Amino acid sequence: MTALAFAATCPNELETVADWWRFAISSLTRADVALGQGTDRVEDDAAFLILGALSLPLSNLDEVRGCRLTLAERDQVFALLKRRVVDKVPTAYLLGFTEQMGVRFIVNENVLIPRSYIGELLATQLAPWIESPNAPMRVLDLCTGSGCLAILAADAFPAAEIWASDISEAALDVARRNCEMHGLSDDITLRQGDLFASLNGERFDLIVSNPPYVTSESMAALPEEFRHEPALALAAGDDGCDVLVRMLADAPKQLNAKGLLVVDIGHNRDLVEARFPKINFTWLATEGAESGVFLVTREQLL
């Protein structure tokens, strides 16, 4: 949809939140926008854009449907919707934030928009794999990006010492802001480096990671929305395993004796099992995927 075509379709009579929500749904549908960056339905993406733009609670649509927008608010929502439809900018980047598991995170185009299946598992304190979630432990979020999994881990494991590492200093700047926003600057140790390079032999009881895993073929076919995300956080070679090969090779040196490694690999189970036929992965089901996350012990990696 061109800017001219979109602008011509905006009726002047849109007054309420419900009016704008319906208009946004129609506009996003006609533009065939790509989803999957925090929302999976056009209705949810439209609500996220409108409520976020108006600084309203994201779970509050039904309660504010009849509220009338000021002229300034209409202009603001229309401008954002136009960028979403015409420029295919993900809604989270337009607003500068998103939510995962009900927790808000600052985002920009230096970080992947939080959506890892691991977030759902952390909400369960990784039961039954973590037997004593309230006991002291050491947790690392590898390839942390915005810091979202580290922050969710801090909530899941209140007595844990949390570390987070990323190769991108620009991403770590976002992670720092998120740690500050959640009052965790003194509780989460951030390190810049390629995988384990900056950790100086530190060992952990749990390592979680949402690393790059997109294959070269898939990278070439990414929808425009996903091209706004940093390629560094996505691309992982022909079979999507380039980063994972190095991670699995070095992880035993960073895990304590009974340590666990939990990794989100999207829909690449077949590729991962083909690349590592000798590793007995445990696949953890979530609402988003039956086998999008694997768990391995240190012993299984030796």
- String of DSSP letters for 239-292: TS-HHHHHHHHHHHHHEEEEEEEEEE-TT-HHHHHHH-TTS-PEEEP-SS-SSS
User: Look-up: residue for tokens 């500068």?
Assistant: 96
Amino acid at 48: F
157 close to 133: Cβ distance less than 8 angstroms: yes
Q: What is the distance of C-alpha 270 from the center of its chain?
A: 22
**Can you give the pLDDT at residue 11?**
67
Domain boundaries, the chain: 3-95, 108-301
53 close to 95: Cβ distance less than 8 angstroms: yes
**Can you give the pLDDT at residue 288?**
83
**Can you give the pLDDT at residue 3?**
56
Give every residue of the chain whose pLDDT is below 50, as ranges.
4
Range list of β-strands (E), 92-184? 97-100, 103-106, 138-142, 161-166
**Can you give the pLDDT at residue 1?**
60
Model pTM score: 0.94
Rounded CA-CA distance 246/242 in Å is 7
Topology of domain 108-301, CATH: Rossmann fold (3.40.50)
Rounded CA-CA distance 187/60 in Å is 32
pLDDT tens, position by position, 187-220: 999 999 999 999 998 999 999 999 999 999 999 9
Which CATH number is 3-95's, of 3.40.50.620, 1.25.50.10, 1.10.8.10, 3.40.30.10? 1.10.8.10
**Can you give the pLDDT at residue 289?**
84
Max Cα–Cα distance, the chain, nearest Å: 66
